[in-house]
Amino acid sequence: MPLDNVNAVVESAVISPLTMLYKRETETPNQNYMTQPISDTESRTYTWAETMSEARKVATRLKSYNYAKGTKIAILAKNSAEWIITDIGIMLAGYVSVPIFATAGKDTIAYVLSHAECPMMFIGKLDSVDAVNEVLGETDIVSVAFDYEGTPGATQWKDFVDVEPLKESPVPDLNDIITIIYTSGSTGQPKGVVHTYQTLCWAAQNSLTQLEVTDADRGMSYLPLAHITERVLIEFASFYSGMRIHFVESLDSFTRDVKNFAPTLFISVPRLWTKFQMGVLAKIPQKKLNLLLSIPFVGKKIAAKIRGELGLGSARLWASGSAPLAPATIEWFHKIGVNISEGWGMTENCAYGTSSVPFRTDKIGSIGKAYDGVTIRIAEDGEIQVKSPCNMIGYYKDQEKTSGVFTNDGYLRTGDKGEIDAEGYVRITGRLKDIFKTEKGKYVTPAPIEAKIMENAIVEQVCVTGTNLPQPIALLVLSQDALKQHRDVVADALTETLTHVNKNLESHQRLDRIVVFSEEWSIENDLLTPTLKVKRHVIEERFKPVILGDYSEKIVWHETV
């Protein structure tokens, strides 16, 4: 039965983001908006007036190329003030933004540019410029380099914006395409998800009401702007709410930048939450922390100090998405006063599906309830299906995949399996495509097993697999803290985890062994997507000899194979 949550939907019509930007430009021109760190001691803060002046210059220069309306313009860069200024400029010029993940390899960059037919690409801060340099060497695309040392591009940013600002203030048709966001490719070639002003901005406007975001809020922008979550909940939410945005100079300066800005909204992903936890435990062992937190008055002071050290002392809302966060991790953070609300959404529905706000300890492990205006149902095969005004209009140049992802009555097939409780809270129980069949012909859903393994704090990444094996196995990567421990100690802890997990599984689900990998799974080695999801199919293919190996030990160390 569908769960329809429409009671408190914003009744007013969707307002163009440009309309809101014109409002900021005229009503609060001198109010600070974006802060871009440049070095340990230097940063640049943009007011709304300065932001719009720069964006209008971008629009003027773009229009001088006389591209047709709706032309696709690519942005390949880490988050920065210039990223958002460029995005606004693209809208002002009547074009369509095509973000590319800053970690994308040569093949992905080339594919997106070709598939979207982009004549121009803006290039910004990147960890490595090798891939984009290869692409630039093989194409005649117009390239513009943001003003950061070592950034490739035929035209420099300062020269590109050395023009008069656009005087007109156009208002787009809400049915026009605003962006094409290419999925991170966890299951193969990226798909171009097409959103209009109507779909994306409906999600952004309604998220403000649901999360009570105002101009008093401060948000860190460090998750990729090429991903829908950051685009809706940080960039576009700031247009509608007027909240301030602070960027991160680099990974090394992350903690410093968060502490300096003291965000009120902090959205992260499971892998980073786990790293924060490990960082705390590296300074205060768990037993000592438990003791300190149990002492009246002292416990509150310790918890407040930890939040302050993390830079989260001023936060009122903490959230996690992209992948499930282990309930044990959520409970650990709850003890130090950080109540992490999980949410769920997809690129295809503007990341606007469910939310666990307000936080409830009895609902830890769920992805929350449907946002207002979103209808969720569970299909006969257990699939979560969703309908809302922010569903995409389709995949770019792929009618076949578009038709396949929507039901006849307009619901988006999410590919996630789940269940809904009596209060409307949704739990994801796995991915339909991740379910595998063992040698015995029995089906296994890996996600719940992985979640149980992740309750052990020494495990940082895990993938349960077992197609055509007698029994499933778990492949995992240890935390940095665990890597410093003696191997026998780690083996004992993993053996205990294996026993504990298997005790609650049916016979065909029980894990035969755990394989420990010495090398971290990362974006760079193509084992994680840019949004830090495990590329299950890549792991299974690359490590097939390891997976199919015959071992007598219950804990196997990969480098010994």
How high does pLDDT run on average in the chain? 91
Secondary structure class of 505 (helix, strand, coil): coil
Which residues fall within 8 angstroms of residue 42, CB to CB, at 6 or more apart? none
How far, in Å, CA of 379 to CA of 385, rounded? 7
Task: Look at domain 435-560 and name its CATH class.
Answer: alpha beta
pLDDT-based confidence at residue 555 (cuts at 50, 70, 90): very high
How far, in Å, CA of 366 to CA of 345, rounded? 13
pLDDT of residue 185: 56
- In this structure, of 125-139, 147-161, 528-542, the range with the lowest mean pLDDT score is 528-542
Task: Say how far residue 341 (Cα) sits from the centre of its chain.
Answer: 14
pLDDT at 1 over 80: no
Q: Do domains 12-244 and 255-372+416-432 have the same CATH topology?
A: yes
Check residues 145 and 437 and name the one with the higher pLDDT.
145
Region 440-466: mean pLDDT is 88
Other CB atoms within 10 A of residue 405 CB: 20
Q: Percentage of the chain surpassing pLDDT 70?
A: 97
Global confidence as pTM: 0.87
pLDDT-based confidence at residue 353 (cuts at 50, 70, 90): very high
- Only one residue has tokens 């290039």, namely 123
pLDDT-based confidence at residue 438 (cuts at 50, 70, 90): confident
Region 241-253: mean pLDDT is 90
Q: Are 384 and 369 in contact (CB under 8 A)?
A: no
pLDDT (tens digit, 9 = 90+) per residue, 96-128? 999 999 988 899 999 999 999 999 999 999 999
pLDDT-based confidence at residue 7 (cuts at 50, 70, 90): very low
pLDDT of residue 220: 95
Element (H, E) at 214: none
Check residues 188 and 99 and name the one with the higher pLDDT.
99
pLDDT-based confidence at residue 184 (cuts at 50, 70, 90): low
The residue ranges of every structural domain in the chain are 12-244, 255-372+416-432, 435-560
pLDDT-based confidence at residue 333 (cuts at 50, 70, 90): very high
How far, in Å, CA of 341 to CA of 514, rounded? 30
Token couple for 339: 């109540």
pLDDT-based confidence at residue 292 (cuts at 50, 70, 90): very high
Q: What are phi and psi of 19, to 5 degrees?
A: -60, -40
Amino acid identity, position 541:
E
- Only one residue has tokens 């390891």, namely 546
352 φψ region: left (φ > 0), alpha (ψ -120 to 50), beta (else): beta
Region 143-152: mean pLDDT is 95
pLDDT of residue 222: 93
pLDDT-based confidence at residue 41 (cuts at 50, 70, 90): confident
Q: Are 48 and 24 in contact (CB under 8 A)?
A: yes
Query: 12-244 has which fold?
Result: Rossmann fold (3.40.50)
How far, in Å, CA of 472 to CA of 463, rounded? 10
pLDDT (tens digit, 9 = 90+) per residue, 68-82? 999 999 999 999 999
- Characterize 235-245 residue by residue with b for buried, 16 or more Cβ atoms within 10 angstroms of its Cβ, and e for exposed: bbbbbbbbbbb
Query: 255-372+416-432 has which fold?
Result: Rossmann fold (3.40.50)
pLDDT of residue 331: 94
